[in-house]
Amino acid sequence: MNSPALSLRHNHFLNGGSALASGIRLPRSISSPFRVRMSLQENGPSVAVVGVTGAVGQEFLSVLSDRNFPYRSIKLLASKRSAGKSMKFEERDYTVEELTEDSFDGIDIALFSAGGSISKKFGPLAAQKGTIVVDNSSAFRMDENVPLVIPEVNPEAMAHVKLGSGKGALIANPNCSTIICLMAVTPLHRRAKVKRMVVSTYQAASGAGAAAMEELVQQTREVLEGKEPTCNIFNQQYAFNLFSHNAPIQPNGYNEEEMKLVKETRKIWSDKDVKVTATCIRVPVMRAHAESVNLQFENPLDENTARDILKNAPGIVVVDDRASNRFPTPLEVSNKDDVAVGRVRRDVSQDGDYGLDIFVCGDQIRKGAALNAVQIAEMLL
C-alpha cells in the first residue's frame, strides 16, 4: 500500500520520464463534447478505493472512469504517509484519507489493493459494516467461504452476494496469472474438459508493484551506461535478464506463485481433480504477462474448433497469423482490456486431438487486477 504512484504506460518510461518524479498519476481523461459523463449518480453505490496511490489503485480509478461505473460518492484511502495528498478524479478534487477502522461507514463497495496484511485487518471490518469488499490480495482467495471470481468464468460463485441487502461480504480477485490463463483456457475446458494443464509464465515487473517497475527502468539505464545496476527489489539484475519468480519456495519445490495457479484453478473450476503444474518466471517486461499453456483433454478438440471457440469467447482476442508469424506480445496487450491468444496448435506429443498448445498475453494491472475487480463490482449493480 506504500507503493508510489506512477504512469504505467510504456512510452512514459521509454521517453525517459521519471515515474516517481511525476507524482500521482491521474486516470486517463476521456473528455469529449459528444460524451456525457454519467458516473456520478445519486442512485449509484458509495465506493471506496483502498491503496489508491499504488499501481493497481490508480488503475482502479482509470477503469472506473473508462467504464462509466456509477457512484454517488467515492472515497480515496491509503496509508498515513499518503494521507492529505490531493487527487483529481473525473474533474473533481479529492483528498486522500488515511485508512482506519472508521473508513467504511456508509460505504457500499470497497476495492482493495493494499497487500494481504492490510486486507486481512480491514477487509472483515468493512464487511461487518455492510460493505462488499472486492479484494485484490491473496488474503482470502483460498477461504472456502469467500468466492474467487473471474466474471467471464464463474460468475455464479458470487450469486448470493447482493448489493443493498445490508449484508457485507468478501469477494476475492484471483491472482493475475490465474485470471489471464483461465480467461483463455476456460472456453476450451467447457467444450472438452481439461484433464491436465502445464503452464509456463513470463511475468512482468508490474506484478511486483510500482517500485519494481521503476527499478527495471533504472537498471536498464544503468546497464546501458556501464554502471552497476541498483538491485533493491529483487536483489539481482533484472534488466536484460530473467529469473525464477521471486515468490517464496515451498517445501514441495514450487514457489507460491506457481501453487496459486494450481489451487486457484481448482477452486474456480470447482474441480479438485484437475491436474495443474506451473513454472513462473520473471521477465524484464513492464506490465503485461505472457503464458505458454499445454492442455490435455478428456474429449477430442481440434485446433480449428478451438480457434473458433476462442474467437467467440468474451474478453478474448485471437492473434494467430502463421503466415506472417504474428502472435500475441506483452507490448501489444499493455493498457488493453482483452486477453490475447495465439499459437493455437495440436500437441504432437499426444495421440489424436486430445492436446493443444496455446500462447496467452494479458495486461497484469488491468484484466489481471483492476479490470477484473471492477467487473465484479459491476455484477453487483
DSSP 38-80: --B-TTSPEEEEETTTSHHHHHHHHHHHHTT--BSEEEEEE-T
Task: Decide if 244 contacts 281 (C-beta within 8 A).
Answer: yes
Q: What is the mean pLDDT of residues 123-132?
A: 98
Q: Does 11 or 300 have the greater pLDDT score? A: 300
Query: What does the block give as the cell for 282?
Result: 520473471
Q: What is the mean pLDDT of residues 206-226?
A: 96
The share of the chain scoring above pLDDT 90, in percent, equals 87
Total Cβ atoms within 10 A of residue 375? 22
pLDDT at 187 over 50: yes
Q: How far apart are CA 175 and CA 173, in angstroms?
A: 7
Range name among 34-38, 130-134, 187-191 with the lowest pLDDT average: 34-38
Check 176, 181, 280, 361 and give the catalytic one.
176
User: DSSP letter at 252?
Assistant: T
Q: What per-residue confidence (pLDDT) applies to 291? A: 98
3-class DSSP string for 78-110: ECCCCCCCEEEECCEEEECEECCCCCCCCCCEE
Question: What pairs with residue 50 in β-bridges?
Answer: 77, 112
Q: How far apart are CA 153 and CA 49, in angstroms?
A: 25
Q: What per-residue confidence (pLDDT) applies to 40? A: 82
Q: How far apart are CA 360 and CA 350, in angstroms?
A: 21
How do residues 228-269 score in pLDDT, each as one tens digit?
999 999 999 999 999 999 999 999 999 999 999 999 999 999
Q: What per-residue confidence (pLDDT) applies to 41? A: 87
Check 181, 189, 280, 289 and give the catalytic one.
289
R_g (Cα) of the chain, nearest Å: 21
pLDDT at 34 over 50: no
pLDDT at 116 over 60: yes
Q: What per-residue confidence (pLDDT) applies to 24? A: 34
pLDDT band at 319 (very low <50, low <70, confident <90, very high): very high
Range name among 3-7, 298-302, 331-335 with the lowest pLDDT average: 3-7
Task: Decide if 187 contacts 310 (C-beta within 8 A).
Answer: yes
Secondary element (H or E) of residue 237: none
Q: What per-residue confidence (pLDDT) applies to 287? A: 95
Query: What does the block give as the cell for 240?
Result: 536484460
Q: What is the mean pLDDT of residues 138-166?
A: 97
pLDDT band at 12 (very low <50, low <70, confident <90, very high): very low
Q: What per-residue confidence (pLDDT) applies to 39? A: 80
Q: How far apart are CA 200 and CA 289, in angstroms?
A: 11
Secondary element (H or E) of residue 367: none
Q: Which of 49, 18, 179 is nearest to 122 (CA)?
A: 49
Average pLDDT score over the chain: 91
Give every CB contact of residue 259 below 8 A, 6+ residues apart in sequence: 250, 252
Q: What is the mean pLDDT of residues 70-91?
A: 95
- Which whole-number Å values give the CA distances from 274 to 156, 175, 297, 355, in the listed order? 20, 18, 10, 15
Q: What is the DSSP string of 164-188?
A: TSS--EEEEPPPHHHHHHHHHHHHH
Query: What does the block give as the cell for 4?
Result: 508510489
Structure pTM? 0.89
Q: How far apart are CA 113 and CA 136, in angstroms?
A: 5
Q: What per-residue confidence (pLDDT) applies to 37? A: 52
Q: Is 44 left (phi over 0), alpha (psi -120 to 50) or beta?
A: beta
How do residues 273-297 score in pLDDT, each as one tens digit?
999 999 999 999 999 999 999 999 9
Is there a catalytic annotation at residue 361?
A: no
Please provide residue 195's backbone torsions phi and psi, each rounded to the nearest 5 degrees: -90, -40
Q: What is the mean pLDDT of residues 3-14?
A: 36
Is there a catalytic annotation at residue 231?
A: no
| In the block, residue with C-alpha cell 501489444 | 332
Q: How far apart are CA 362 and CA 315, in angstroms?
A: 10
